[in-house]
Structure 1
Amino acid sequence: MGKVNVCLKRSYIIVTSLIAILSALLLAVTLFHHGHIHYNEEIEIMLPGVFAMYGISIITLILAIIGVYGACKEKKWALILFVVGMILGSLILITSDILGLARRPQEVQQLKRHYLQMLPLNNASEITIDSLKEIQIELECCGLDQGYQDWGYNIPQSCLCSQEATNPCVEAPRNSSLSEYTMMNDQYVKIYKESCLPYLIAYVMMVIDTAMGILLGVILLWLLSVALCIFILCRLSKKEDIPVVVYSTEAKAGNYTPLADSAEVT
């Protein structure tokens, strides 16, 4: 069994330990998210994704621990198990990333159908209305598809333009529920002009693109750990050069003279 370079072993342990830390953080975030959505109405839709995150984080954490153990103790079986597991995991993540990019247009259409189902907003549930009000304040918009007209007569105060608003605003309809809010110069208040659906889709797509970028970074980190582990396995499989012992007929006991005899002669 050959000797493993110290720098190579330390590099592998550092990378694998980083993977273990990230896996532990992912597991903690998944536990928190699972508890947060426990009382959500759409928990049945979210559960498959939560269980997938559990599986990825736990399996990756176990593989990372086995990989560090294999490097420290120079156990080939542990390193081989780490390589096989991480390669399979990397292939799954690469496939998911490619499928996510391919399904991007379908996700946009699905988001549109999901939000347009909430119309008319006057008949929407209180939870939907409250969440949409928060979205209107955050994204500086009003309504979903046709702007403030989606609210009919009852336009919420979350559609009112703030003093720091950057999106375009228009005067509120005179027959709306906001007609009682007037400026000091007897001008009607202004509300956000644009609807929220384009901003919502752009925001969700940005989150998806960010997640895919993070996923690509994780894949590269996993592949780096696999490459380092393969180098360690190659070093362990390499046989050390053992010097060959050659017998010589000249090496006889009679060819040597004790030093004590020469000292007595002098």
Structure 2
Amino acid sequence: MPVTPEHTVRSYSLELERLSNLLTQMGGVAEAQVKAAVAAVARRDATLAAQVMQADQRLDDYERAIDGEAIRLLALRQPMASDLREIVSALKVSADLERIGDYAANIAKRSLALAQVPAVRPAAAIPRMGRLVEEMLKDVIDAYIERDVDKAIAVRERDEDLDGLYTSLFREVLTDMMEDPRTITPCTHLLFMAKNLERIGDHATNVAETIHFLVRGHALAGDRQKGDSSSFAIVTPDAVTPDAVAPAPLPSAEGAGA
């Protein structure tokens, strides 16, 4: 029996819907990965961290599935206009989500090292940054599902707040390392974790901009506002209290002979 045009159009619609569903599922996995990675840091939970690292493969599998489906649609359907934007956007968003998973896995990996040393004061800022990142990621995935441009733009605007938190933590960590060299190892891991969260926010913002392109058919006008001034952050010795950097007193002769 020959295939009717109606059947062809219906099958094409189902294929596009499948692509969108795959991307939504991938977004849910990425969101869960970030949340679990931040929780592993806050709880100093090695088991949870290991689970996050192992689950990163799921996002790689999703990206390969989406790439394969998108390439097949491009080759067989020769899409135009909104259909073409749907497929191109899926490729771009899946790449962003895969990178988000990589950053979450790196946070989890570094949490293993952090859990082996005494807790340091700036560590409390990681869950705070994490909550904002989780909200941004959840909202941008919802914006994709709902094709809600206003919600996507709101996520883009919150990236500046995340940059501000990162800069604040960066300065705090530098100060702590100068005050007490024993914190250098954990504080270095914290810096990498914070940078990973800041980059996750950037990728969530990329997704928001892709949603605007998908729905409106053109790129979002205007430069993205950035609040990350850590590149210019300097903590001078004058900013650190003398007592904090004073070397520990040497043991007395009596104590040494005890």
Normalised to the residue count of structure 2, the TM-score between the two structures is: 0.37
- Larger fraction in helix: 2
Larger Rg: 1
Normalised to the residue count of structure 1, the TM-score between the two structures is: 0.36
